Structures are given as structure tokens and as C-alpha cells.
Structure 1
Amino acid sequence: MIDNMPKKLPQYVFREINRHKKAVYYFRIGKGKRSRLPDFGAPNFNEEYQTLLAGLEPTKKRLLGVGSLEWLIKRYRDSSAYLGLSDATRRQRDNIFKGVIDKAGHVSYKAVSRKKILQGREDRAATPAQARNFLDAMRGLFRWALEAEHVAVDPTAGVKNPSRPKGGDGFAAWTDDDVVAYEARWAAGTKERVWFHVLLYTGLRRGDAVTIGRQHVRDGVATLKTEKTGMEVNIPILPALADTLAIGPTGDLAFIVGDNGQPLTKETFGNYFRSACNAAGVKKSAHGVRKIGATRAANAGATVAELEALFGWTGGTMASHYTKTADRKRLAKQASEKIVNAQRPHLPKETPRTSKKS
């Protein structure tokens, strides 16, 4: 039986009878797009009507449960692939996933195409580090999904990380002049001096630098697993660092502490250290200290294997960067000495001066 037609429909709403002899309602302005409305009198009819009347798209239904991107991300976060990541990497990826879920958690994960991944990268192009973090998170998600047979194709396959700006090399490395300026501002006996020497003489990242303490040191060597890679590093406590730690101030479980003598989170330490650098007139970061440490080690003749053992790197890429730079400097110096030595026999001999008798 056909339902009774209302006496008067709202503006731009019209009624049709479908092939099932049921009344259906549509919204249309002039010859514009026709949009389906809920049944007249339904609880959400007025909400959808007002949305369309304002010239907006109708509310999209949220895809819940199995099939949504949010569902896939939750399954991934329960997997051994995700749980095997370091705490720092999981926190970083969780921040990425939160934004993805807020924006597109309701869509089908099977609808995520290579084009969508590329668009996500381009949306973050102004901040290359964020673009790389986004790609790393999505690669981890879909590589696991492919292995778990949730998808037949990995949409991140072949998508390249954004290239670094020309002339850029990430965080600026500290120079010897920066070291002098910082130490001139923060004397021995200040916590700021301890912070700096822990970074400079261990080569640790912030997250590991705030963790290292006396419990990690045996026979003059600090041993700990790095937060980022989980790789064990063995770091000799050099005399300069040992002297600084002996003066302090340090904590019971961590060398790096705040005003109250308590350990700091890496985020808080990063902010405090930045302020200490600014006070010394050094506009650089904690990571840049790690770079000068690697540069000094390479210049002293450390091999790729030795740098990887000291700094927790793998694959040879990072270590090779420093050793190649050091080798080029040594070769250039050797070449200059050879040129001087080759020219020396051809230089005119000076005539000995004789003193005149008065």
C-alpha cells in the first residue's frame, strides 16, 4: 500500500514512487544534482535536508567494524610486527595513525590506493621529515596487511621518500667553535655541562642519553640497547666525560637530570638543551652534537665497523658517510703535501747573507 503523501513538502524536496511502490524523497535545486533523502518524517530527515539546503554534501556513513582503515590499523597494532618496534618508533607511528584515522578511518582499507599514499606524502611535502614518517608508518601497515593476506597489493610499494633539499644534510653538525662557545657559557659543575658532555662523548641520541646512568657502566664501558633500533652499543667512558660526571650534578639512575635531580624525558630534555644552546649563542640541536662526535671519530681513523658499533648504526650507509668525508680530507691533505714536496727541489736556493763589518 502506498503511504499517504504529506500535504506540503519542504522546499526543493520532491517525492517519487519506486518500483516497489514505496515513496522515496529527493532533494534537487533546479537542474542541479539530485540527492536521496531519508524517509519523510524519519529522525534524520531534517538534518540531511538542512545540510543539503546549505549546499553541503550529505553526511557520509561511517564504515564500522571489519573493512575500515581504522579496523586494519587496530589489527596491525596488535601484531608482532608492530609490537617488535622500539617504543620511540611506536609512539611516532601512533601519532601518524591518529591523524589518518581522524581523516579517513571510516573508509575501506581496500580503497587506499597508491595515488592516495602519494597524496598523503605531498600533503606533508613542506616538512620532509613528516612525509618520511607518514610513509614509514603506512609501509609498515600495508606490508603487514599483505603478509596477513588482508590486501592483495601493497599501495606503498615503489613510493619514494621525499628528497632532501639541495645542500641539506638534516640537522646541522656542531663545529669546534660551537663546542668552545657552549663550554665557555656552561662551566664544569653545571647540569648543562653534564648534558653536553654526555651527548658529545657518547654519541647517543636524546632518548638514550636521558637513560644512560652508572648502572650501565662496567669496567669503564657503558653498555645499553638503543631506543630506536634495539641494537646494543658499547661506549668507552672517555677521561673528559669521566671528569665531568665526577663533578656532576648527576642522578642515581641517570647522568642527565633536571633542577630537582630527577631524570628527564627526551622531549623535556630536548627543550631544556635547546634553551642552554641558545644561551651560549649556539643555534643547533642535540642531534648535531651526535654528528660532531661521529665526525671526530672518523677523523681519528675509526672504521665503518667501529662507527656502527659505537653509534648503533647498521647497513654501513651512515658510517660510510663519515668515513668517506674523513678520507677525502686526509687524501686532500696528503695530496697537498705531495705537491709541496714535488715543488721543493725546484725552488731557488737562498743566497746566504753575510754581515758587513763596520
Structure 2
Amino acid sequence: MAKTRLITRSGSQRVPFKYCSRDIDRHGNERFYLRLPGMPKYRMTSAYLDEAGSITQAFTEEYHRVLAGDRGEKTVPISRLEPGSVRWLVETYYRSKAFQSQSPATQKDKKSVLNRYCANVGELPFKKIRKSDIEASQMKRSDTPGAADKLVKYLKALFNWAITADLATFNPANGVTKIHNSPGFHTWSEAEVARFRAAYPVGSMARLAMELMLNLGVRRSDLVKLGWRNLTGNRIEFSPEKGAGKYTQSLSLPVTDELREVLDAITHDQPTFLITEYGKAFTGNGFGNKMRQWCNDADLPECSAHGLRKASATILAEAGATEHQLMAIFGWSDSKMAQHYTKAAQSKRIIDAGFERRKTYVAHKNVPLSPVRDSGEANQGKNDEKTTSEE
């Protein structure tokens, strides 16, 4: 374990991190510990202050990493936890087949959410948790409604597993409604796609990324792994990361003309299509941040990587793709999401058909029943009648 020598300037300062404390051993070494409720204490390994007396970035990053539940290779022994506590239930869940069968990305996300929850209620007995407690935790996070609803979702999964494992008799998260009513990520419009293409020509990494997402509709976690090995003839074949632990799935998507154009313009020889400015493959989060930068630079602040996946589904649905076709293309295991797009496309077609009928009706209604004579001819006719009468 690395030791951090005492820096006297921190001696009189309070450690500005929740659950973090400082002490000095008998040799004068400064030590920092993170004591999360219901968890064994964790000794920080990063230096606290630099030579200028400022808190180091490494210490801050380690603190947030551990707070999110990532203690490196360390695992919390069940024997050191209070049996029946929320933390005990969560750690038991982590060791279950149900949890271990999920993808690494899903496991990491669930640990981040549930460990933060345990930081506040980890020592409480889980059998005393009620619906009102779940709702209180949800509302405590109402400033970030998406994160609040995600906590409820993961707690519901936790207690569903506990019921099947004969550890719980009811699920306190059942009946807790969502507070996040946002339509989600903005779907790119045709005009926004055109604007992005105008800003980034063929041959640029930004254009390649956009065309891959729009034409394949893949998740960014899969996108960053795609490369030449996935190109078979005129198709791109891969196994999606999401759901890999539950079922085996393989997608084979055709290369469109727009996608072929940008693939032919690739000049690097790296294994993945998309690479960073340092010649390395993107991570999922790293790519999301880069796409955010590209969109901002193109004056498209509402657009995002996931919005391209939604645009891809919208285009296919409006082209007449069925629910089962969308499920096959996007790797959805049920028809719920596919129905969302097909119903929206069907509604748009019905509305357009209604206005076409209106157009036809108005045009027909405005057609005169008999030819309209020239006003001069009409007046001449009247004059002729008067003349004849006088004679």
C-alpha cells in the first residue's frame, strides 16, 4: 500500500469530502480513509495535496470512483456485513447468477447506482423498506429525474431477485411511478443531418461516425468496436453487447450507398473504424463526449449520438418497416420499442392521407358548375336584347 507523507498544510484543514477522514500514524504518515455506511473502511492510495497545497486530481478521481462502488479488485466479504441490511442484500445480489449474467456495462451501471443508494441506507434492514421509502429516495433525486427513475428501476430488479431467492416476500418498488416525463433524446431531423454533413465532409472522422450510426442504427457501445473484421462482403456483422448475458444474438446489416462512400474514404489501418486523435479506439462514453463536441461545433446543440439511432428507426418506420423488421435491425428483444416507431409512422401517414383527401375535396368544390362567360360578352348580350326589344 502506497504511503502519503504528511504535508503540514493539510493538518489544520477539514477534508472537504463526505465520509472521508484523515489521521496520522505513529511514524508521521498521513492517511485518508473513506468510511461509507454499511461498508468496511477504504484507505485512499492517492496523494491528497500536491506541492502547491492543492487537492490532487488523482485523489478526487479515486474518491468518486470508490463512492460509486469501484474499489478496484477489492471485494467486500459478506461476513463483514450486517446480515439482513440493505448493503448485505445488494452485495449478495452482486454475487448472484442473475447479476453475473448481465453485461459488464450493465453491471457497472447498476453498481454505481445501488452503491450510492447504500451510502445513505446501507445499514438499514431491507425487510423494513417500504414503498414510501423508495418514493422518498426517488424524490430526493428529483433534480435529476432520469437518475431518480433509474434508481427505482434497479431497486425493483433487486427486490424481484430477492423474492425469487426467498430473501424477500414483497417488492417495495412496485407501484412507484416515474417522475421523468421527457420524450428522451432529441431525434435528428433531415435538416439537421444535412447540416452535419455540410459541416463535416466525407473523409472526416465525424462524418464517418454519423453515417455509421444513421445507416446502421447501432448503439454507441457496439459502434466503437466495429471494424474491418465485421465487414463481410456488403454487410456488417456483429453481436450486440446489450443482452449478451441473457441470449445469443447476431446482427447482419447491409452497407448502404451512403455508408459505403465513407468507408471507402478511411485511410487509417487501425482495427476499428472510429479512432481518437491519438489513434486509439473510442470508449462508449468517450465517443458520446466527442459526438457532443462535433454537434456543438456544427451548431446542433440538441443533437446527440443516441438521437441518431432514433433517427435511423424513424426513417425505417416511415419507409414502411414492420415491427418485427425493426426488432431484427435494432436488436430489440420485444416489440414495445418497435411499436413506438411504427405507430408514430402510421399516424403520420394517416394524417398525410387525411390532408390529401382535404386537398382533393377543396379542389373539387372550387370547380364551377358551368363555364363562366366573359363579362364583356354578358354585357353585349344584354345590349342586344334591349335593341331587339326597342325595334
Same fold (TM over 0.5): yes
Alpha-carbon shift at residue 131 of structure 1 (Å) = 1.5
Deviations 1:218-259 (A, max 9, x none): 232222232233343332111111110110255533211111
- Find the aligned partners of 1:211 and 1:350 in 2 and give their Cα distance: 70
Q: Which amino acid aligns with 2:216?
A: T
- Find the aligned partners of 1:173 and 1:183 in 2 and give their Cα distance: 16
Q: Which amino acid aligns with 2:86?
A: L
Report the secondary structure of 2:161's partner residue: helix
Choose the corresponding residue for 2:262, options 202, 221, 244: 244
- Find the aligned partners of 1:352 and 1:289 in 2 and give their Cα distance: 58
| Unaligned stretches of 5+ residues in structure 2 | 1-36, 40-79, 375-391
Residues 250 and 69 of structure 1: CA distance in aligned 2, closer, same or farther (over 3 Å): farther
Which shows bigger deviation, 171-180 or 151-160?
A: 151-160
Choose the corresponding residue for 1:273, options 291, 294, 301: 291
- Find the aligned partners of 2:251 and 2:371 in 1 and give their Cα distance: 58
1:310 aligns to 2:346 (yes or no):
no
1:100 aligns to 2:117 (yes or no):
yes
Contact 2:146–2:180, Cα closer than 8 Å, also in 1: no
Choose the corresponding residue for 1:174, options 170, 183, 188: 188
- Find the aligned partners of 1:107 and 1:78 in 2 and give their Cα distance: 20
Q: CA RMSD in A?
A: 2.3
- Find the aligned partners of 2:152 and 2:267 in 1 and give their Cα distance: 41
Residues 273 and 345 of structure 1: CA distance in aligned 2, closer, same or farther (over 3 Å): closer
Please give the TM-score of this superposition, normalised by the length of structure 2: 0.69
Contact 2:218–2:309, Cα closer than 8 Å, also in 1: yes
Q: Which amino acid aligns with 1:122?
A: M
Alpha-carbon shift at residue 309 of structure 1 (Å) = 0.8
- Find the aligned partners of 2:110 and 2:298 in 1 and give their Cα distance: 34
Deviations 1:297-330 (A, max 9, x none): 1111111111111112232222112112211222
Could you say which residue in structure 2 is the equivalent of 1:88? 105
Residues 350 and 302 of structure 1: CA distance in aligned 2, closer, same or farther (over 3 Å): farther
Equivalent runs, 1:40-119 vs 2, <5 Å: 64-119=81-136
Choose the corresponding residue for 1:202, options 198, 207, 216: 216
Equivalent runs, 1:331-346 vs 2, <5 Å: 331-346=350-365
Q: Which amino acid aligns with 1:215?
A: R
Could you say which residue in structure 1 is the equivalent of 2:150? 133
Contact 2:38–2:87, Cα closer than 8 Å, also in 1: no
Q: Which amino acid aligns with 2:259?
A: L
Residues 88 and 216 of structure 1: CA distance in aligned 2, closer, same or farther (over 3 Å): same
Report the secondary structure of 2:252's partner residue: strand
Q: Which amino acid aligns with 1:260?
A: Y
Could you say which residue in structure 1 is the equivalent of 2:349? 330
Contact 1:121–1:134, Cα closer than 8 Å, also in 2: yes
Residues 96 and 247 of structure 1: CA distance in aligned 2, closer, same or farther (over 3 Å): same
Residues 294 and 350 of structure 1: CA distance in aligned 2, closer, same or farther (over 3 Å): farther
Q: Which amino acid aligns with 1:321?
A: H
- Find the aligned partners of 2:257 and 2:314 in 1 and give their Cα distance: 19
Contact 2:38–2:122, Cα closer than 8 Å, also in 1: no
Equivalent runs, 1:159-170 vs 2, <5 Å: 159-164=176-181, 168-170=182-184
Contact 2:149–2:180, Cα closer than 8 Å, also in 1: no
Q: Which amino acid aligns with 2:252?
A: N
Runs (4+) off by over 4 Å: 60-63, 349-353
- Find the aligned partners of 1:226 and 1:116 in 2 and give their Cα distance: 36
Alpha-carbon shift at residue 109 of structure 1 (Å) = 2.0
Q: Which amino acid aligns with 2:211?
A: H
Alpha-carbon shift at residue 351 of structure 1 (Å) = 6.9
Sequence identity, in percent? Answer: 29
Contact 2:239–2:250, Cα closer than 8 Å, also in 1: yes
- Find the aligned partners of 2:330 and 2:228 in 1 and give their Cα distance: 19
1:154 aligns to 2:168 (yes or no):
no
Could you say which residue in structure 2 is the equivalent of 1:254? 272
| Unaligned stretches of 5+ residues in structure 1 | 1-59, 354-358
Contact 1:87–1:228, Cα closer than 8 Å, also in 2: no
- Find the aligned partners of 1:61 and 1:254 in 2 and give their Cα distance: 43
Residues 183 and 315 of structure 1: CA distance in aligned 2, closer, same or farther (over 3 Å): same
Alpha-carbon shift at residue 216 of structure 1 (Å) = 2.0
Contact 1:143–1:154, Cα closer than 8 Å, also in 2: yes
